[in-house]
Amino acid sequence: MKIIDFHSHFYNGKRADGAEEYLVGRGLVLKTADGGLDGVLRWMKEANVAFSVNLPVAANPWDAAEMNIRAAKYNSKDNPVLSFAAIHPASPGLEDMLFDIKRAGFMGIKIHPQEQDFYPDDERMKKVYKFCSDNRLMVVAHGGAGTENNFDRASLKGEPAIFRSVIDDYPGLKLVVAHMGGLQVWDDAMKYLCAKNVMFDTAYCTIMDDMLLKEIIAAHGAQKVLFGTDFPWQTYKETADKVEKAAASREELELIMYQNAENLLNK
C-alpha cells in the first residue's frame, strides 16, 4: 500500500548531531545515515514511503527565518518531500514572516506549544491563526505532552481543551493536532477534539494501547486521520504496523495511509 508520511523531521547541522546521538542511544532509525535530506530519502526508499512532509520546529524565536530558507530549498527540488515552514510566537516580525511564508509557497506551518512554551490560545497566535485561515495555510501543532513518563500535567501547554477553543474561534482554519490529538492525554483528545473540525496524525502512536488507537480513529473518523511517524524518532514500519491493526477496514486504512494526505496536499 502507498504510504505518505505527514509528520517527519529532517535535521541538519547542530540538531542532526544531537539527533544522531539520541537515536543511536535508543537503537532507533539513524545509525549511520544523517538526518538530512539524503538520509531521509534513503530510508523512505527502503520502507516504500512515497512522500514525506517535513515539520520543522523553531526551538527559539530567532531560528525560524533561517530554517525557512532551508525548508524552501527542499521544496524547490524535485524530491518526493515537502516542507512546512517554522514559526515561533516570539519571533521578531512575525507578521512579515507569515507573508514571507505565504510568498514562498509553503502549504503550512508547524507549531509546538510544549517546546516553544505557549498555550494554543496565546494572544500572539491570534494573528497567526487569522492569517493562516485567510490564506489557506495549514497549521500542524504538536498536541499533548512529550514522550517522557510521569510528565507534569500542570506544565502541559498543548491541552486538547485549549485546541478546542482555537477550533471554535477559527472555523475556517485547517488545523492538524498531531499525535492523535494529544500525546499521552488521549482521554481529553477524545473528550474535546474527536469528531470536531480538526485532523489528527498518527505520529508516535506506537506508544498507544492498540484498543485506544482503534477507539480514537473510530470516534474521530478515519477521513480525518493522517499517517505520520515522527521520523526519525520512530520507524515507518512500526508505525504502519500499528495503524494497520487499528484501522477498521481496508478503505479506512487507505484513507489514513495516503488518501487523506493526497487530498490535503493535492498530490
By CB under 5 A, name the binding residues for Zn ion. 230
For the bound state, the minimum distance from the C-beta of residue 55 to Zn ion, rounded and expressed in Å, comes to: 6
Query: With respect to Zn ion, which residue has the nearer C-beta, 203 or 264?
Result: 203
CB 242 within 8 A of CB 215: no
Q: In this chain, which residue has its C-beta nearest to Zn ion?
A: 230
Q: How far is CA 188 from CA 108, 152, 158, 182, 185, in A?
A: 26, 15, 11, 8, 6
Query: With respect to Zn ion, which residue has the nearer C-beta, 10 or 258?
Result: 10
CA dihedral 23, 77, 110, 227 (to 10 degrees): -70
Residue 65: what residue type? A
CA 94 to chain centre: 21
107-142 residues labelled b (16+ CB within 10 A) or e (exposed): bbbbbbbbbbebbbbbeebeebbebbbeeebbbbbb
For the bound state, the minimum distance from the C-beta of residue 134 to Zn ion, rounded and expressed in Å, comes to: 26
Coil/strand/helix, residue 246:
helix
For the bound state, the minimum distance from the C-beta of residue 140 to Zn ion, rounded and expressed in Å, comes to: 9
For the bound state, the minimum distance from the C-beta of residue 5 to Zn ion, rounded and expressed in Å, comes to: 11
Nearest CA to 55 out of 84, 26, 81, 31 is that of 84
Query: With respect to Zn ion, which residue has the nearer C-beta, 202 or 252?
Result: 202
For the bound state, the minimum distance from the C-beta of residue 99 to Zn ion, rounded and expressed in Å, comes to: 26
Query: With respect to Zn ion, which residue has the nearer C-beta, 141 or 173?
Result: 141
For the bound state, the minimum distance from the C-beta of residue 11 to Zn ion, rounded and expressed in Å, comes to: 12
Residue 154: what residue type? A
Query: With respect to Zn ion, which residue has the nearer C-beta, 142 or 220?
Result: 142
Query: With respect to Zn ion, which residue has the nearer C-beta, 160 or 232?
Result: 232
